[in-house]
Structure 1
């Protein structure tokens, strides 16, 4: 009796006809394969695509709610009319006060989510974030130094100062951590040490500054979207758009980087150069986000892990991490504006208040699994 012919894997031999094709990986994960033409194809993880769609809907919902709610309620129809025509009785509230900070919040959250995903992938540590490697502390130290000494004449130059400080701190951490290669654990520990030293510098200048400068420094250090406008959103949007090709490369590089370093090197992957490139991209995104809104804690830490739990993928999903960060920050800013009216809580204080218990939960979970 002739045996049954072995079934062909749709993952290995998908249909060559143009259009969408359902496929499964060797680990039985469902994917969608899109073939616009016989020579090109696009592979999407099915659950990741559904999660991304849901996060986009959630982001739109939170942005609409943030535009409507506040000390003055504006209906969704009036918000749409104001944005479409640029005129009306709510132009000041919606067009000049709420919408710019909503856009800045979404862009800053997306940049922090991406930065956190890249840093955690390089260090292979879910407790790592750009703040751990000194980016936030470097940006804070440079900004505090500029404000305390009066070196910056115009407030518009502060984002450039903070970006320069963040990049300089990350470069110092990299140089000190490099010893015939970059070990993730040494990189993180060096970043923690540099961060502690820079925090001491910030406290020193706070104690020696004039009262007015100290108040301005403290407000910036808490991280806030209050008063942010499209002048902060434009450079951040440009950086994100320019980073798209690098992010496409990063999404492909994260797969081999998740393997053992010797195994990845045996497959021909330049591990140290890939780590340097991913870290540099994450540092730039975090520094630009910090320059736009100040140091906002825990968004870069929590967004990649939440996105990974939603998608259930082996590696951190960059696009979903960006969407998760945008949703978290816009929702946190809405809560910061409306929880204690007429008092407005800085969004950085609120994210730290919520992110602290999450960090403790992560630490407890890692300890329990050992």
Structure 2
């Protein structure tokens, strides 16, 4: 029998509920936010956002459909049945078209989209700013500058370019961090310094293009647009390796990003080592964005768009990493499919399409942020 009547005002007061019932089950019911479910197994439990799970499932289904369409559509159409046969390793007359020409390119696009999506989510979480992404704050420009320098002057082999990109992205991020730090890392200063570093690194990249071999410089220009043309398993291998190694770190990041979104005073009061958490999240995002850039070139605005789309779909307080990763992969796959077919037989670089969509979105986001802040810079 309850201690108060169902219509008693005391029943609507959480503090009174805590005083009346302190059992673990009641505590679990009290702290569970609306729209969440608790999965229990033994002594362990996991808080799950229902809408985020539903969105992730829908995105996975859409991504699977986009993969099949991508492999079917081309200069010659391949039936979905034959595509499935090739994916399952069964004999098929379309093995050359699907398995050799289209599938390796698709794999690179999928992996790069996943990496860009997670990287953007982590950087935006740390900066607490939707304008922050690896391609806006200079990370991909640093990766691009280092890669173009290596290509133009023949410093390393092409198989080592993804690792050169990681080094360039880390160097650019360190440069932004040094110039943006002033008794703390203010979000707006972090973004503005990153934009300035991006411009400087872009100029440096153009300098490398003029000083290197002409033929290699032309190849580097194509690479700078962000293209999946001629990409294959050689580029996918290091990207897949980094993503697999980053899975444990991503699981940690999914929990740590809640604390990283707090302001400094709140984090200190809760006992969160905010500097270490932000450093870890930023480092993970930089590595993922840099290695993806090394594999595909700087495919701009995917890391900016994917986290914001995922957050608006899930309506969560924090950017969901899984939904952001799936959104990034879906954006890259669909954009590359359109780049291949819109102006056939001419193939556009995938970065051209993502930039065509992402640049207007960035301008809208800046205008929206300025209007909310009363006309001041974001």
Which residue does the alignment assign to 1:34?
39
Instruction: Write the deviation string for residues 158-204 of structure 1: whole angstroms up to 9, x where unpaired.
Output: 22222221122212222333344333333323222222111111112
CA–CA separation in structure 2 for the residues paired with 1:125 and 1:53: 27
Which residue does the alignment assign to 2:5?
4
Which residue does the alignment assign to 1:108?
112
Contact 1:25–1:31 under 8 Å retained in 2 = no
User: Aligned-pair distance for 1:25?
Assistant: 5.3
CA–CA separation in structure 1 for the residues paired with 2:213 and 2:138: 26
CA–CA separation in structure 2 for the residues paired with 1:226 and 1:303: 22
Contact 1:181–1:272 under 8 Å retained in 2 = no
Of 211, 236, 240, the residue aligned with 1:237 is: 240
Question: Unaligned stretches of 5+ in structure 2?
Answer: 374-378
1:4 alignment partner, SS class: coil
User: Aligned-pair distance for 1:215?
Assistant: 1.1
User: Aligned-pair distance for 1:155?
Assistant: 2.1
CA–CA separation in structure 2 for the residues paired with 1:62 and 1:203: 36
Which residue does the alignment assign to 1:226?
229
Of 84, 88, 96, the residue aligned with 1:84 is: 88
CA–CA separation in structure 2 for the residues paired with 1:289 and 1:24: 42
Question: Unaligned stretches of 5+ in structure 1?
Answer: none
1:151 alignment partner, SS class: coil
User: Aligned-pair distance for 1:240?
Assistant: 1.6
Contact 2:152–2:216 under 8 Å retained in 1 = yes
1:85 alignment partner, SS class: coil
* Inter-CA distance 228–87: structure 2 relative to 1 (3 Å threshold): farther
Which residue does the alignment assign to 1:256?
259
Instruction: Write the deviation string for residues 50-94 of structure 1: whole angstroms up to 9, x where unpaired.
Output: 000000000100001001001110001011122323543211110
CA–CA separation in structure 1 for the residues paired with 2:93 and 2:66: 23
Contact 2:144–2:294 under 8 Å retained in 1 = no
CA–CA separation in structure 1 for the residues paired with 2:171 and 2:265: 30
2:88 alignment partner, SS class: helix
Contact 1:123–1:184 under 8 Å retained in 2 = yes
Within a 5 Å distance, the mapping from 1:1-80 to structure 2 comes to 3-4=4-5, 6=11, 29-37=34-42, 39-80=43-84
CA–CA separation in structure 2 for the residues paired with 1:369 and 1:51: 28
CA–CA separation in structure 2 for the residues paired with 1:159 and 1:243: 16
User: Aligned-pair distance for 1:29?
Assistant: 1.9
Of 147, 168, 171, the residue aligned with 1:168 is: 171
Which residue does the alignment assign to 2:326?
323
CA–CA separation in structure 2 for the residues paired with 1:326 and 1:115: 12
Instruction: Write the deviation string for residues 310-356 of structure 1: whole angstroms up to 9, x where unpaired.
Output: 00011111111001101111111111111111111000111001111
Contact 2:38–2:47 under 8 Å retained in 1 = yes
Which residue does the alignment assign to 2:275?
272
CA RMSD of aligned residues (A): 2.1
Contact 2:153–2:213 under 8 Å retained in 1 = no
CA–CA separation in structure 2 for the residues paired with 1:14 and 1:45: 21
* Inter-CA distance 14–361: structure 2 relative to 1 (3 Å threshold): farther
How does the TM-score come out when normalised to structure 2? 0.89
Q: Number of residues paired by the alignment?
A: 359
CA–CA separation in structure 2 for the residues paired with 1:15 and 1:59: 38
Contact 1:24–1:30 under 8 Å retained in 2 = no
User: Aligned-pair distance for 1:137?
Assistant: 1.0
The yes-or-no answer on 1:310 pairing with 2:313 is: yes
User: Aligned-pair distance for 1:43?
Assistant: 1.5
